[in-house]
């Protein structure tokens, strides 16, 4: 496997064996970034001076026996731009914040630096992270390295595109409606939405049960490695849970005898036939790994889920963005304005709370009998890179839907205490990966990682060097 597509766990093994140095790996990642970035446009900035200083310091620590090493020692990592660093730009993809400089650093950023990671840049998002695709007036269009005509998803689209293209080894994301899992699925990656409070956030959205900062990577073990660094209580976040929850090394063998409920459509979601086929293939792979998988039904409706989410967003995130829209409307993206306007028409926040409880009840009952739920991550097999929302519908199995109706991630933000791991399930005919979500019982993170490791081993897809895409030039691909 080429250096730029190493997993973090393999890189650490090579560092420990003195067969690779952090500087050599950073060189490979920086060279790959230079080659692919004109095509994918996944970075808002590079931090090469900081990165090389960190890589050289890590290299010295590896060279000295007995030196204490960080959990991410020497590993190249990209940060989602939404997670601020004091003294650096904090623009959130919006012309309304162009040139804004952060005064505070996100708690997980401090932890990542302290763990010895080589942070070499920051990744693109849609404006205010309010879309499931990644393009903005400020940063332009971010493209999926598997198919440059299509989006890597959003809102952590830059992180997803960079990881899949080999422009980094680990990356951070955040998830309020699927923003880690959507790009993980479209880009053939592993991504984890931690349960509410597991990872500290920043005010005011650290209080929002839909929100979670989390890890993205190229293997289940990589994602567990980063999750262990960023999890745990923090003095600035009263919602952060103590004590810190430490994941063990993901163990596929421990999944034998576990029970998983398969629900392909989560009630009445329209599902692309390729997504359904790959989801069923993932279920069969779990069976081959010794997991008991039964198909079940849930009484959810897409309409109730979208209405419930809208009520929540209208009371929190929508209200936040609407204040900006009132004064600087002409600078905002159409999807941002649509988000504000659609959530303003939703039901009350209190009605949403009642509906969230109604939605959780059947899943809670189901998970009394099963260790986890298995379902697709995205219902569609891709959206255009410059998706012209809000005007464009998505056709799935004969139905015309909005982009949010094509994301099967939203239900698990409504019930934000459940851990959700998204892993690849195969490829669609258009060359875009598909993914499945492994949804655990509330705060039972370990089980979803165990099942993820079993699926990773049984499917044997993204563990192969041949899995990762060859990135074509934009001109050749879109001609």
Which residues are tagged catalytic? 80, 155, 179
Neighbours of 345 (CB within 10 A): 8
How many angstroms separate the CA atoms of 298 and 118, rounded?
Answer: 44
How many angstroms separate the CA atoms of 69 and 48, rounded?
Answer: 22
How far is the first Cα of the chain from the last one, in angstroms, to the nearest whole number? 30
Q: Which residues pair with 345 in a beta bridge?
A: none
Look at residue 437 and give its three-state secondary structure. strand
How many angstroms separate the CA atoms of 177 and 411, rounded?
Answer: 8
- The packing angle between helices 22-40 and 157-165, to 10°, is 120
Quickly list H helices, 192-347: 220-230, 273-288, 302-315, 317-328, 334-344
Q: Which residues pair with 144 in a beta bridge?
A: 147
DSSP string, 77-98: EEEETTS--TTSB--TT-GGGT
b/e sequence 211-227, b meaning 16+ C-beta within 10 Å: bbbbbbbbbbbbbbbbb
> Which helix (H) or strand (E) segment is 476 a member of?
helix 474-478
Rg of the chain over Cα atoms, rounded to whole angstroms, equals 21
**Whether the bond into 269 is cis, omega within 30 of 0:** no
b/e sequence 321-341, b meaning 16+ C-beta within 10 Å: bbebbeeeeebbbebbbbbbe
How many angstroms separate the CA atoms of 479 and 429, rounded?
Answer: 20
How many angstroms separate the CA atoms of 196 and 401, rounded?
Answer: 29
């Amino acid at each position: 496997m080429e250096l730029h597509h190493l997993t973090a766990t393999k890189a650490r093994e090579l560092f420990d064996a003195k067969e690779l140095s952090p500087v050599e790996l950073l060189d490979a990642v920086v060279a790959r970034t230079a080659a692919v970035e004109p095509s994918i446009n996944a970075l808002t900035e590079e931090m090469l001076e900081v990165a090389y200083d960190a890589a050289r310091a890590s290299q010295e620590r590896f060279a000295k026996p007995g030196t204490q090493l960080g959990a991410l020692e020497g590993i190249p990592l990209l940060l989602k731009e939404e997670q601020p660093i004091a003294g650096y730009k904090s623009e959130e993809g919006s012309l309304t914040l162009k040139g804004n400089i952060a005064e505070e650093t996100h708690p997980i950023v401090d932890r990542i630096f302290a763990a010895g990671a080589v942070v070499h840049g920051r990744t693109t998002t849609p404006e205010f992270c309010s879309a499931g695709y990644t393009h903005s007036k400020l940063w332009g269009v971010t493209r999926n390295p598997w198919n440059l005509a299509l989006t890597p998803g959003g809102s952590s689209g830059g992180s997803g595109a960079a990881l899949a293209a080999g422009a980094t080894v680990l990356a951070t994301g955040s998830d309020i409606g699927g923003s880690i899992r959507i790009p993980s699925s479209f880009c053939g990656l592993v991504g984890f939405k931690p349960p509410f409070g597991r990872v500290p956030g920043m005010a005011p959205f650290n209080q929002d049960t839909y929100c979670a900062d989390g890890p993205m990577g190229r293997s289940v073990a990589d994602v567990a490695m980063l999750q262990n660094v960023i999890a745990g209580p923090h003095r600035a976040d009263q919602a952060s849970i103590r004590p810190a929850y430490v994941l063990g090394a993901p163990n596929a063998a421990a999944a034998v005898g576990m029970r998983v409920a398969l629900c392909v459509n989560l009630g009445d979601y329209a599902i692309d036939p390729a997504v359904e086929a790959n989801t069923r293939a993932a279920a069969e792979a779990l069976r081959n790994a010794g997991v008991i998988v039964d198909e079940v039904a849930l009484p959810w409706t897409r309409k109730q889920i979208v209405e419930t989410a809208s009520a929540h967003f209208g009371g929190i995130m929508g209200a936040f963005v609407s204040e900006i829209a009132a004064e600087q409307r002409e600078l905002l993206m159409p999807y941002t304005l649509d988000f504000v306007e659609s959530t303003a028409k939703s039901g009350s926040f209190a009605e949403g709370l009642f509906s969230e409880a109604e939605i959780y009840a059947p899943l809670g009952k189901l998970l009394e009998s099963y260790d986890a739920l298995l379902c697709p991550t995205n219902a569609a097999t891709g959206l255009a890179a410059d998706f012209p929302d809000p005007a464009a519908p998505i056709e799935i199995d004969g139905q015309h839907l909005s982009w949010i109706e094509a994301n099967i991630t939203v239900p698990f933000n409504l019930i934000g205490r459940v851990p959700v791991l998204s892993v690849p399930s195969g490829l669609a005919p258009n060359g875009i990966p598909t993914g499945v979500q492994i949804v655990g019982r509330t705060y039972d993170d370990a089980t979803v990682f165990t099942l993820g490791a079993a699926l990773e081993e049984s499917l044997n897809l993204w563990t192969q060097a041949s899995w990762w895409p060859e990135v074509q030039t934009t001109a050749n691909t879109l001609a």
